[in-house]
Amino acid sequence: MANGIARSGSRAADGATALLDVRDLQVHLRTADRVVRAVDGVDLQVASGECVGIVGESGSGKSTLSRTVARLMINAEFARLRGQAFFDGADTLTLEPQALRRLRRKAGFSMIFQDPLGYLNPTMRVGRQIREALSPGDHAASESERVHALLREAGLRDVESVAQRYPHELSGGMRQRIMIAIALASEPRLLFADEPTTALDATVQLQVLETLHRLHLKRHMAMIIITHDLGVVAALCDRVYVMHAGKVVETAGTLELFDAPRSPYAARLIELTRHTRADAPARGRALAQATAGSGSAA
């Protein structure tokens, strides 16, 4: 229980039961003059319902790792891939496009990013963008009821009016909540969140993290929080992978990492956080208070 936050499913994953099981993943990118080993032999496991952090400085390979696994960034022209990434037993790296679409559409994985504006359609009302992402199947509620429920779950109010707006008519925090609603529309079992709050003001950051934490508990949804900010990891994650130069240099329980980092790199990252982000532990506490007993709320 890091920072006194109630945890669900906070057991360390093992290969046999992992929802996501990444084995010896390498992503080498060819640029004009050299080969970048963006991801260089990474093993990573996430159990069902677990919240895992991937932390490291900019350029350490976090986004390449997650985008590769989620099959959002594979350009065989300039990327060389090796290894495997099993989601629920199927290797996402070799899935045919149709199977991949099925996985995305229903109870697979979704992703949110630092920059929602870059991923939202500027010419379409946000409600419709969420509707287009809804999972198929039998549902008692109408599509617009489902869209409104998702907006509420993502922490928005006045949802009927919000659904009618275009992305540019919303604040950064609201846009990130729209991305969250779109991500939830397919009822994912795993959510990749790549620097989900980096572009937001500190207060809004905390509120969005609180929403993610509540969703993780309520939906028993596994999450991978990708961030350069150890404060975010401290507030949300059960376990952490520390990445540096394309490799995992340490993996540990969150508290364990903060108390006694084993790698010099992780120790330096913690030191840096303490130095520049004196509020990191306080943010963890604030989040714990804000979310205490809120597992069934909203």
Interacting residues with ligand ADP (CB under 6 A):
29, 31, 36, 38, 56, 58-64
Nearest distance in Å: CB 79, Mg ion: 16
Which of 10, 64 has the CB closer to ligand ADP?
64
Please state the φ and ψ torsions of residue 148, each to the nearest 5 degrees: -65, -40
Distance of CA 170 to the CA centre of its chain: 22
> CA-based angle 39:43:47, to the nearest 5?
125
Which of ligand ADP, Mg ion, none lies near 61, with the C-beta cut-off 5 to 8 A by kind?
Answer: ligand ADP
Q: Which of these ranges, 38-46, 56-64, 176-184, 241-249, lies near Mg ion under the rule CB under 5 A? A: 56-64
User: What residue 176 binds from Mg ion, ligand ADP, none (CB within 5 to 8 A, per partner kind)?
Assistant: none
8 A C-beta contact, residue 19 and residue 222 = yes
State the nearest-atom distance from the C-beta of 234 to ligand ADP, in Å.
19
Q: Which is nearer to ligand ADP, 58 or 296 (CB)?
A: 58
Q: Which does 31 bind (CB under 5 to 8 A by kind): Mg ion, ligand ADP, none?
A: ligand ADP
Closest CB 156 distance from ligand ADP, rounded Å: 28
For Mg ion, the closer of residues 151 and 242 by Cβ is 242
- Nearer to Mg ion by C-beta: 113 or 265? 113
Please state the closest distance from residue 168 (CB atom) to ligand ADP, in A: 26
- Residue 204 partner contact from ligand ADP, Mg ion, none using kind-dependent CB cut-offs of 5 to 8 Å: none
Q: How far is the CB of 143 from Mg ion (least distance, A)?
A: 34
CB 237 within 8 A of CB 225: yes
Shortest Å, Cβ 203 to Mg ion: 23
Q: Which is nearer to ligand ADP, 26 or 144 (CB)?
A: 26
Judged by CB, which is closer to Mg ion: 58, or 203? 58
Helical axes 202-219 vs 280-291, angle rounded to 10°: 50
CA 238 vs CA 87, 181, 224, 233, 257: distances in Å: 20, 24, 10, 8, 11
Out of 63, 92, 186, 227, the only residue in the binding site for Mg ion (CB under 5 A) is 63
Per-position DSSP letters for 120-154, written without gaps between them: S-TTS-HHHHHHTT---S--SS-HHHHHHHHHHHT
Query: Which lies closer to ligand ADP via its Cβ, residue 9 or residue 196?
Result: 196
Least separation in angstroms between residue 39's CB and ligand ADP is: 7
29 touches, from ligand ADP, Mg ion, none (C-beta below 5 to 8 Å by class): ligand ADP
Q: Which option in ligand ADP, Mg ion, none does residue 117 bind, with CB closer than 5 to 8 A by kind?
A: none
Burial class (CB in 10 A: 0-12, 13-18, 19+), 281: middle
CA dist 67 and 72 (Å) reads 5
| Location of structure tokens 């004196």 | 278
End-to-end CA distance of the chain: 23
> How far apart are the C-alpha atoms of 63 and 113, rounded to whole Å?
10
Element (H, E) at 42: strand 35-46
Residue ranges binding Mg ion (CB under 5 A): 63
